[in-house]
Amino acid sequence: MSAIEQLIAGYRRFRSGYYEENRERLTDLAHVGQSPQIAVVACCDSRVDPAVITDSTPGDLFVVRNVANLIPPCEGKGTWHGTSAALQFAVSCLEVEHVIVLGHARCGGIRSLLEGQGERQENNFIADWMSIAEEARKQALARTDLETFDQRIHACELSSIQISLSNLLTFPWIRERVEKQTLQLHGWYYDMQSGELLEVDASGSTVALS
């Protein structure tokens, strides 16, 4: 069976299984609209699905996915800001109470950031996008306590979450709500090998959420 055939077969199982079993709730969601309390910014990585990791159901999470789960700073220029637009919708329209930046181990985007030269490059969308976390790259490369490249990647993954958390506060409609305590920001890190989920605080320390 091809990958597409597998997907269609999966859809048919969903339609006759999950959809039928939850038809009432799903049609209610369709009529009333969504009102998730949580927005998650996760990586595009196929191994890190926020709904699967948190055992969530449709309507629970407003999910934004991009390369390496980065939040850009608030910029007013007339370019296309997909992540910022999704955040604005989640925070200003849906009025979510929590925004979670969900990082993860073995992130290809972070690896490419560390392997690159740290310069923005025309027509290289990945390098250009990853430059949001340039400071995390510099910090990881400068640390003398890290011996292996993988340790530097891990450090860079954690500090890029801190950068995203601080970039969230550059959006006035986020800062305002955080100050009024109607919105909380969280940094989480998922290790797909151990299955561990960690909370990353503003100083970069981690605590297991188990």
Nearest approach, Cβ of 48 to Zn ion (angstroms)?
7
Taking the C-alpha atoms of residue 181 and residue 128, their distance in angstroms, rounded to an integer, is 34
Nearest approach, Cβ of 194 to Zn ion (angstroms)?
16
Question: Binding string, 59-78, against Zn ion, x = CB under 5 A?
Answer: ---------x----------
User: How buried is residue 152: exposed, middle or buried, by Cβ count under 10 Å (0-12/13-18/19+)?
Assistant: buried
Nearest approach, Cβ of 18 to Zn ion (angstroms)?
27
Nearest approach, Cβ of 109 to Zn ion (angstroms)?
5
Nearest approach, Cβ of 164 to Zn ion (angstroms)?
12
Taking the C-alpha atoms of residue 87 and residue 70, their distance in angstroms, rounded to an integer, is 12
Tokens 């604005």: give the residue: 88
Q: How many residues bind Zn ion (CB under 5 A)?
A: 5
> Interacting stretch for Zn ion, rule CB under 5 A, among 74-82, 108-116, 180-188, 191-199?
108-116
Evaluate whether 105 touches 154 at the Cβ level (below 8 Å): yes
Question: Binding string, 34-53, against Zn ion, x = CB under 5 A?
Answer: ---------x-x--------
Taking the C-alpha atoms of residue 81 and residue 160, their distance in angstroms, rounded to an integer, is 19
Instruction: Identify residue 41 by its one-letter amino acid code.
Output: V
User: How buried is residue 26: exposed, middle or buried, by Cβ count under 10 Å (0-12/13-18/19+)?
Assistant: middle
> Interacting stretch for Zn ion, rule CB under 5 A, among 11-19, 106-114, 116-124, 131-139?
106-114
How far, rounded to the nearest angstrom, does the alpha carbon of residue 179 sit from its chain's CA centroid? 22
Interface with Zn ion (CB under 5 A), residue from 107, 114, 156, 198: 107
Residues that bind Zn ion (CB under 5 A): 43, 45, 68, 107, 109
